Structure 1
Amino acid sequence: MNKSGILSVKILTMAVASAAILAGSGCATSSLLDDGPRSSTTSTTKQVLVEDQLVAFGRPAQPLANMPSNSAVIVGEKHSYVLTQGGTEMVKLLTTLTPQNIQVDNDMNFYSANDGYFQGEMKMSYAKLKDEFKRSDYQFFLQNGGTDCTSASDTRINAQRFCFKVPIKGAIYPQVSNLSMIQSNYKALSKPYAVTIYGQSKTTQTQRSGTNAAQKLVLLPFALAFDVVTLPIQLLDAL
């Protein structure tokens, strides 16, 4: 074989080797890319932190530390829900209006970041026969955000209904100290009203794991049991 033939073979061999190196480098690059962060789908689910039953509405018998002086309390069988916002409005509604004409119109589902606090909304309505309303009643509705929500069923019996929506925020406390006294001295509500505190849990599809917010309900460090003075609405049979 002459020199030119040998040179051609060497060049061909080098070209093949270079192609092999590039191919190997490409595989390595592809492998590095594949080993990088993978996209994953994160979903947020609603998780119940506590399920409770309404016993009564009340006010703390003594002022609570770090709480407004006019706080209202939703008394539950397991926990107490002290209102830091909306308490004044709740107390005004429950003490000014005739208790037997007040109705709670929604389940009490409140959101918590599992930090001892919660927020939500209370919906209540007040209905009477039209000829029983006074001028002072209508003045109260105007001043406190009452809206006419008279239903067809109310109209048939010549009644009128006003609805109230009260945004609330509050803190979760232990069961009130005088719960047994409240339960023994007052009539139970005619139907159970659920109090639900829920949080949110994020779960990633690739890991199939997430924070289980329902494992433990976190109470505030200063949340201690206390006595409550009940408001009239706990006497109702027709709530």
Structure 2
Amino acid sequence: MKRLQICIDVASALEFLHGGDVTLKKVVHRNIKSHSILLNDDWDAKISNFELSSLDSLHQDMKHINDDAYLDPQYKQGFLTEKSDIYAFGVVLFEILCGRLTWVEGREDTGQSLGHLAKHYYKQGKHDEMVFADIKEQIVPQSLATFVDIAFQCLHDDDYKRPKASDVVIQLKKALEVQEDFEIWESKLPRDYKEIMSLSEAPDIYHTETKKDIYIRSYPVESSFQRRKW
């Protein structure tokens, strides 16, 4: 859940830079990488390294980073747009999911970048094999699927098919909600809650409810206190 929250923090910052605040001009960061993301003592994420940023998709000589694995494959003639930021962030999302930097072999002149490898695994339906071992058993399948789907969309070769930062925020929050529902609320339900629900007069109503909703329905008095607490 902490990794998901970090991803949401960064996506929200990109949404703000790309015009989420109508009172500000659009800012293209143009250097989104894992080392451009800072964490404070509370693990809140912030974006740094604005040296290459601009208020528009201006031309800039960036030949020195042409082979950068974070770089938009449609980068031409020095133009990087907000969708280039989205591509780079897609690479970062897979880094966080896989627990490793983008260059698999540890060198930029050998091996295959994580972005390209992630797209290959995704198309093969094997993205679960890339998940960082220490969190693999913790992730709810639906949360993983939501996360990977939006991360893959960020890496689309055609920039106009990539999502906006605001869309990324929405999907990452959905992934977090599913994960929270499992980690926080399912643990509060009795172990045999599925069997109990199957004996209900209308068991089908539970199929579309979250674990939190089921808990509130089952323990209305206690859950009222929990809602105030949360």
Same fold (TM over 0.5): no
Which TM-score band (shorter chain)? Answer: under 0.3
TM-score (norm 2): 0.23
Higher relative contact order (CA 8 A, sep 6+): 1
Greater C-alpha radius of gyration:
1
TM-score (norm 1): 0.22
Q: Per residue, is there more helix in 1 or in 2?
A: 2
